[in-house]
């Protein structure tokens, strides 16, 4: 099979998006996921493919500031939207979440880490806005139970979970 072969015009679309602050415009096969667009067409390989089925969270990115599994999102669905990947988090200095993951040694192989970090950033915004989770019983606080529940869509096969929770707790100021 020829990778990235483009189908006829009836099966392709032009997609315009902001990727990490830079405008992008390209024609894509309508069946292309955002994950494959990022990795195969835009050379943004920081976003990882784990399961390709919405089960591991390795592919998590931020779309208009909200976390999303890019393997479940068609590229055509982000037309006109702002996408942030792990490559877009650093601004001269590492993002505070990246720094906290380093300080707390919150990874081993690192394969899940870009997704964990993007997810954690989106998750803290949800928490700050008061979104309840399955373990919320009153006012929302970034305690360990809330962090674990809200990060449960991001799996780590190296089981770095205690250090991941510690890193997120530090950024949350808890």
Per CB under 6 A, residues contacting ligand FES are 49-52, 54-59, 69, 71, 107-113, 156-158, 160
DSSP-derived letter for residue 95 is P
| Closer of 128 and 158 to ligand FES (Cβ) | 158
| Closer of 103 and 109 to ligand FES (Cβ) | 109
| Closer of 112 and 151 to ligand FES (Cβ) | 112
84 DSSP β-pair partners: 62
Extract the tokens encoding 151. 């990060």
| Closer of 51 and 174 to ligand FES (Cβ) | 51
d(CA 60, CA 25) in angstroms, rounded, equals: 22
The side-by-side arrangement of strands in the sheet containing 22-29 is 22-29, 12-19, 82-84, 60-63, 66-69
Distance of closest approach, residue 90 Cβ to ligand FES, in angstroms? 19
Distance of closest approach, residue 120 Cβ to ligand FES, in angstroms? 13
Contact indicator for 87, 118 with CB cutoff of 8 Å: no
Distance of closest approach, residue 77 Cβ to ligand FES, in angstroms? 15
């Amino acid at each position: 099979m020829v990778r990235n072969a483009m189908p006829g015009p009836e099966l392709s679309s032009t997609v315009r998006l902001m990727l990490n602050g830079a405008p992008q415009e390209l024609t894509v096969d309508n069946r292309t996921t955002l994950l494959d667009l990022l990795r195969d067409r835009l050379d943004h390989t920081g976003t990882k493919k784990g399961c390709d089925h919405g089960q591991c969270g390795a592919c998590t990115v931020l779309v208009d500031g909200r976390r999303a599994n890019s393997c479940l999102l068609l590229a055509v669905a982000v037309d006109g939207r702002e996408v942030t990947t792990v490559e877009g988090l650093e601004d001269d200095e590492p993002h505070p979440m990246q720094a906290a993951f380093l300080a707390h040694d919150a990874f081993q192989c690192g394969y899940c880490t870009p997704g964990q970090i993007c997810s954690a950033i989106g998750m803290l915004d949800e928490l700050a806005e008061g979104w309840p989770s399955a373990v919320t019983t009153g006012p929302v606080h970034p305690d360990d139970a809330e962090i674990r529940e809200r990060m449960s869509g991001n799996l780590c096969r190296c089981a770095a979970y205690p250090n991941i929770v510690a890193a997120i707790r530090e950024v949350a100021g808890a």
